[in-house]
Structure 1
Amino acid sequence: MEINDSGNMKIGITKMYEEISELIGLKDYKIVNPYNEKVDCDLLIISKGYKDKVKRLNPNSEIFEVKSATFRDLIETLEDIKKLKIGDENKINYSIKLLKYKEKKIKELAKNLLKDLNVEVNPITEFVKKIVEDLNLKISENGVLIVPDYFLKNQNYKNNKNNAKVIILKTHNYNLRLIERIEDRYLQIIQKLRDFHERTYQRRSK
């Protein structure tokens, strides 16, 4: 994607990714809902996976998709935004540095809290798989199932109380901001795996 004359560009950001404007130092933008309506914007910053839908409603707008399953995703997103020459490059570089620090700290936490558990996981979507791989967790078909909450509509995991090897991951806690949501997903997996290990150990001890 090549952006020209960014100084006069009308930029729209979806509500879910409003924090992007702060991370890149962008002041001139508006919050839009291009998923369901036509908007007057030259560039739309949206969630990954919705480009075709948004493009049908907004054929004249450039589309930029945000990746944010992991810290690495968001770092790459900011690197790509920097190439568009929008926002403030110094602010973007600072935000990337901050994200790399948070990524390092969460991985250190996971290593310390999970090192003795010897637990394997079975992420059932690519979204979840990216997170568990980022945490360097062992993946196995016989491992603890990690199911994203949005997947429950078509599955029976939520009501299967007899299946103790299932972790439900709340993927988009909208009470949290973008970086907090990413961090929360890591922390959920770490804590729920520890809880699973403790329950398993207690059953074996009885």
Structure 2
Amino acid sequence: MNYFTRVVACGACILLSSAAAALSTCPTADSLTHGVFIKYDDGSISRITPFDETTNFEEVVYDDNDRYGYVMAGGVLVQRSFTFKGIHISAKSVMDVSFTGGSVDIDNMEEGSDLFLEFTKTRAGGPVQGNVTIDVGETSTLDIGECSYAATAVTVTEKSDTERAVFRLYWLPLLGVSVYRHISDSSGEFPYRAMEILDDFPYDRG
């Protein structure tokens, strides 16, 4: 399943104006207080809320009710990752990531610039060291469903002795969140398309 790639490979990855939609309200920065919801074409729904002053928590739910969550710094870097099965947390999937070499601030990075960081991932199998390069591309207008946002293309390349993964994201400055475009790693190529972005639950609370 694609969600496995997004959980495991995202150890170090990690993602202005709002258009008024005719039938729904497009999220603004204030929407983060209760959640910005992104529906992807792989059947997943991401809910993004603040974790603390500098990070967001993203919970991803699939249509078969599998889910996982992680903490993102600067809209790009995952600090912790853990999967869920129903209400049970899988302990062996818990991971902490520490970085050296700087911090990420996409809003203040110029087009064509990059940032190199080293990381240590600590999880059940022990620590893994590697590096990540963050490349900032051009800013354009991204349409997600009926909403339009300024979006900066970001590429995150993660390397270690055992892994290599490339994450292509859109960073949405107005919201302070990122949206997946494509992930590639040793298990394959995984394109993603954000179908809708909403400021309320887009699924049955049931």
TM-score clears 0.5 = no
TM-score (norm 2): 0.24
Q: Which has the higher contact order (CA 8 A, sep 6+)?
A: 2
Which structure shows the higher strand fraction?
2
Q: Compare CA radii of gyration and give the structure with the larger one.
A: 1
Bigger proportion of residues as helix? 1
TM-score for the superposition, normalised by structure 1: 0.24
